[in-house]
Structure 1
């Protein structure tokens, strides 16, 4: 029987979850979503996510897909607008579905994505409303030096030095297309976009750039770190609480961004 594929656009506060992906003996975002979908559709549903966020990491935009046979899809299509409301009613307060929509059956939430963007948030004064949502630092780093170092990232594609060890990937190559720090009223935000990211990559990059900002290494020494391809030469991973997946882009032919 033919299958129809549906995309879900959602957001979540990752504080209470062990990341996106289903894990044994741990509560994850995917587990909660799959359970709610299975309840509503009255059949086992397994979603595929656009990425794999770690424990405590947030997402303001995240996509997942699931498949249904023609009969079940026909029933869903009739009540698609109401379905989002029902799905949100079953999900906990810290997971919100924005929309559910049909896509071409070969559109893949993970492999069809062309670009992903993250933000990392840092604040410098104790603030109860930023607990688990931003990293509290006590000393203000040199943002100009950190941006000099961030600019060097564009000269490379192999980011093995920022990757978590023993990950099952075919390549550590990524094309970074944005990397910059911006200051706002509340602190600092690091913006980074690439075609793909390695596990723990953004948090390792931020940790290394913060070392530059604190004067522990110079911007040019970032080249030595990257060229070493050795994780132990890069900075420590910063806390997960400040990291947000903010945007996932797909080809225009998928119509995902236009629906």
Structure 2
């Protein structure tokens, strides 16, 4: 029997109307909607595996998932048996347009890429990057896409605290409780706040992230920015490995997954 062909699919989505990426029993998710669309276009059951999970209301400017299809060429216009030649760019374009035509406006397919059968969208990712957006003046066009604050926090103090975080690898204090992971270790390679025309944006990159980690980090840095704690207090919070010592999770609306890197893409 010929092995199934594995594909990576690149997409972007507005998470406002979804209960996160992952399939839920009693709520609509991005993964559920994508699986149904792929099954319709490819005319066979399709189960995707995402590069991670995003919480309810979190957005993704770049997200990857992989899926397997039967050993015929489902991404070509004519079907038929798989041969040694990859489908043409035109064929991929047709399938992408077909998917986008049946998907809701808040989910967009960017690319479909044939990969090795062992390639894995989650485990093979070498870097993930997020942004968290904050604005200060009331703006109806930012509602649902940025967190509005009344008072402006001290960005210099927050950047001092963010730099301290990069000295550590165990981020148990920022992890949602009762998560099934083997380790809470992550290697943060970037953590910095930048001013924008509307407010400020937090940029953070790491090899992996724990559940709710970015929102908990931003909540903790807000405590620093409001001068409720000193930047150096972040050391004690991280070393305690206790979630209750860190700041509260900030609203999901300002969080975006912006980049996922692989060595072979």
Q: Same fold (TM over 0.5)?
A: yes
* Residue number in structure 1 paired with 2:83: none
Q: CA deviation at 1:83?
A: 0.3
Question: How far does the alpha carbon of each residue in 1:97-133 deviate from its partner, in whole angstroms, 9 at most, with x for none?
Answer: 0111201111100000000000000000100000100
What does 1:192-211 correspond to in 2, within 5 Å?
192-211=204-223
User: Runs of at least 4 residues of structure 1 off by over 6 A?
Assistant: none
* Residue number in structure 2 paired with 1:61: 62
Question: How far does the alpha carbon of each residue in 1:31-90 deviate from its partner, in whole angstroms, 9 at most, with x for none?
Answer: 010000001111110000001000000000000110112214463936322000000001
* Residue number in structure 2 paired with 1:51: 52
What does 1:172-183 correspond to in 2, within 5 Å?
172-183=184-195
Cα distance between partner residues in 2 of 1:22 and 1:83: 23
* Residue number in structure 2 paired with 1:242: 254
The two structures, once aligned, show a CA RMSD in angstroms of 1.1
What does 1:64-103 correspond to in 2, within 5 Å?
64-73=65-74, 75=79, 77=87, 79-103=91-115
Cα distance between partner residues in 2 of 1:12 and 1:176: 25
Cα distance between partner residues in 2 of 1:81 and 1:190: 34
* Residue number in structure 2 paired with 1:143: 155
Cα distance between partner residues in 2 of 1:139 and 1:202: 21
Number of aligned residues: 253
Q: Which runs of 5+ in 1 are unaligned?
A: none
* Residue number in structure 2 paired with 1:12: 13
* Residue number in structure 1 paired with 2:243: 231
Cα distance between partner residues in 2 of 1:145 and 1:25: 42
Cα distance between partner residues in 1 of 2:29 and 2:104: 12
Cα distance between partner residues in 2 of 1:29 and 1:2: 27
Match of 1:124 among 131, 136, 139: 136
Tell me the secondary structure at the aligned position of residue 129 of structure 1. Answer: coil
Q: Give the TM-score taking structure 1 as reference length.
A: 0.96
Match of 1:158 among 159, 167, 170: 170
Q: Which runs of 5+ in 2 are unaligned?
A: 81-86
Tell me the secondary structure at the aligned position of residue 166 of structure 2. Answer: helix
Q: CA deviation at 1:181?
A: 0.1
Question: How far does the alpha carbon of each residue in 1:187-241 deviate from its partner, in whole angstroms, 9 at most, with x for none?
Answer: 1000000000000000000000010000000000000000000000000000000
